[in-house]
Structure 1
Amino acid sequence: MIYAVWLPLLMPFLAVPVARRGAGQLSPRSAAWALTALALILALAGTASLALLALAGALHLPFVARIGHLSPRLLGDGSPATVPAAVLAAVALAGLGALALGRTRRHLLELRAAQRQLRGKASAGDLCVRQDDRPDAYALPGRPGRVVVTTGMLRALGAQEREVLFAHERAHLTGRHHLFLAAAELAAALHPALRGLRAPVSYALERWADESAARATGDRALTARAVGRAALAAHEAGSAPRPRLSLTATAGPVPRRVTALLSAPAPRSRLLPRALTCLLLCCVALSATATLDAATDLHTGIEIAQGEQAPVPGGGH
């Protein structure tokens, strides 16, 4: 087990660069789903590996062995690296778990605080207008989800551009894009190498909303102009405070998004996306298989160690 269990911990270092390269070959919606699923699966596999390493070492402790009725003499392969690896795994597991819980708590508190601040503000349906000279607009998830826009942003855009902006933010709410972002944040907290997927996931979500706004308005050029003007106005005025799980049309590499909206979709070869997809599926399969193999190996070792403790029929006095 001591060897197979390391594979899920090392796999993200290979999978993340491949995923970042392959995301550009997919549609924004497909890229968002693929990157988020990959991040979660690899994060969970890595966390399971840490837990298995920690458990394997804990079983060698005398008081734990007594509780489980185990014979430490027959437990595991007796590798001298088992206990040190278990200590490191336990420390890492505790630290990453605390980080994940802390981030989750912070995100929830930020969303609740933002929802409370909007009580009593001028609103029309899901649209809430906030008095602030700084141009800003974002999708605030919750019950109900709202599109928050400042008076400064309303003054910075024309009537048609405002409709594009509202359509963009509503696409975030309808698609529940904050859940994708939250999953990417959780995965990044559980495995440092997966932090490299946060930016591609965010970009895919913004492009997904861009395309939704373009379809809703029927004008890609207008959508590109609205995104560009909103981002320029927000950049010149400085960023306004908002929850980290809120999504905004002014985020990410805006010039790249504008270029994508203005460019006609180029015919893409299916060979590269399929090859990258197969490679990523292999990474996921290897991680899952290695984790399962390590768990099975540990379970078998526990059964053998418990069998040593069983009384022998017709034994001595």
Structure 2
Amino acid sequence: MIYAVWVPLLMPFVAVPAARRLADALSPVRAVRLLASTGLGLALCSLLALALLVVPGATRFPVVSALGELVRPLSDAAPAVAVPLAAAALALLGGCAVAVARGARRHWTELHRAARPPAYARGELAVLRDSRPDAYAMPGRPGTPGRIVVTTGMLRALDPAERDALLAHERAHLRGRHHLFIAAAEMAALCHPALRSLRAPMGYALERCADEAAASAVGDRRIAARAIGRAALAARAAEGAPQLRPRTALAAAAGPVPRRVAALLGRSSPRPRVGRVAAAAMLACLVVSGAAALEATSDLHSSIEAAQGGGAQH
């Protein structure tokens, strides 16, 4: 356990360079799924490692030792080392738990507010009378479809074909429940600092998913690319104004727009070989992290059994 328990805490730092390549090297859908699954998996393994670090130091206290029916300490390390290490791990574990609980509550609150239809809503589409150009997908609670919010300023900035592409983009966010993937990346980032670097690739891959859906819906990749570019330029012109969209919303004008436009126009394309290498590296990090966490758990269980059975020999 001495060495294995540290592996899940270090693996996220190794996985981050591969994660940065996934969004460009793989198809958007595959990149989103891989980033979400590996991010959550690495976060859970790191939390388990912190929990395992707490136990040996905690058993140095007579009350805990008596509850576990231990006749000797689990660790050969001196109390001056084991107890502070356990205290630090417990503090980090508690901090992660509080941060995740607050993040989940904030996300649910924002979804609850978004579920209330505003006065200007008409079914799926809500047109807001505002000169500031903006458009975003407002997700709904489970069982509710959510809605697309667009300002009159954004509608005036685009021609009819571009409006159709923009609305198709936001509709793809709602149908794909993309806000859940963003929430997963946020929760993983709260569990391990290195996993914060997954949020940017995840956001880019989700926007690329919606871009491709918009291009398919209007039947013209150039129109979709033009709509995204013009929407971003219009929104940037109003950057000094207060932002309208909530945290949970996803918008076509967000993220690295030039890269997205280039991908739609075929100026950049998925690189299967790089993608396979990056995906294999991400999955390898997850497997190694999980295996190390299981090995550390097994070692701790064996140590507890040995410490409990030590009295039978006297």
What residue identity is the alignment partner of 1:60?
A: R
> How big is the shift at 1:262?
1.2
Q: Distance in 2 between matches of 1:265 and 1:228?
A: 16
Question: In the alignment, what sits opposite 1:67?
Answer: 67
1:1-317 paired onto structure 2 within 5 Å? 1-73=1-73, 75-78=74-77, 81-116=81-116, 118-123=117-122, 125-142=123-140, 143-238=144-239, 240-263=243-266, 266=269, 268=271, 270-309=272-311
CA contact (8 A) 1:136 1:153 kept: yes
What residue identity is the alignment partner of 2:126?
A: C
Per the alignment, in what secondary structure is the counterpart of residue 252 of structure 2? coil
C-alpha change, 1:207 and 1:266, in structure 2 (3 Å) is closer
Q: Distance in 1 between matches of 2:188 and 2:269?
A: 32
What residue identity is the alignment partner of 1:263?
A: G
Deviation track 1:178-235 (CA, whole Å, cap 9, x = no partner) reads 1110000000011000001100000000011000100111100100110111111111
What residue identity is the alignment partner of 1:235?
A: R
CA contact (8 A) 1:69 1:309 kept: no
C-alpha change, 1:72 and 1:131, in structure 2 (3 Å) is farther
> How big is the shift at 1:172?
0.6
Q: Distance in 2 between matches of 1:57 and 1:166?
A: 56
Q: Distance in 2 between matches of 1:120 and 1:196?
A: 38
TM-score, normalization by structure 1: 0.91
TM-score, normalization by structure 2: 0.92
Per the alignment, in what secondary structure is the counterpart of residue 127 of structure 2? strand
Aligned length: 308
C-alpha change, 1:130 and 1:266, in structure 2 (3 Å) is closer
Q: Distance in 2 between matches of 1:267 and 1:146?
A: 31
Q: Distance in 2 between matches of 1:273 and 1:113?
A: 39
State the superposition RMSD in angstroms. Answer: 1.8
C-alpha change, 1:164 and 1:267, in structure 2 (3 Å) is closer
User: Percent of pairs identical after alignment?
Assistant: 55
Q: Distance in 1 between matches of 2:34 and 2:78?
A: 38
Per the alignment, in what secondary structure is the counterpart of residue 72 of structure 1? coil
Deviation track 1:266-296 (CA, whole Å, cap 9, x = no partner) reads 474x433322222222211110011001111
Moved more, 203-212 or 78-87: 78-87
CA contact (8 A) 1:128 1:149 kept: yes
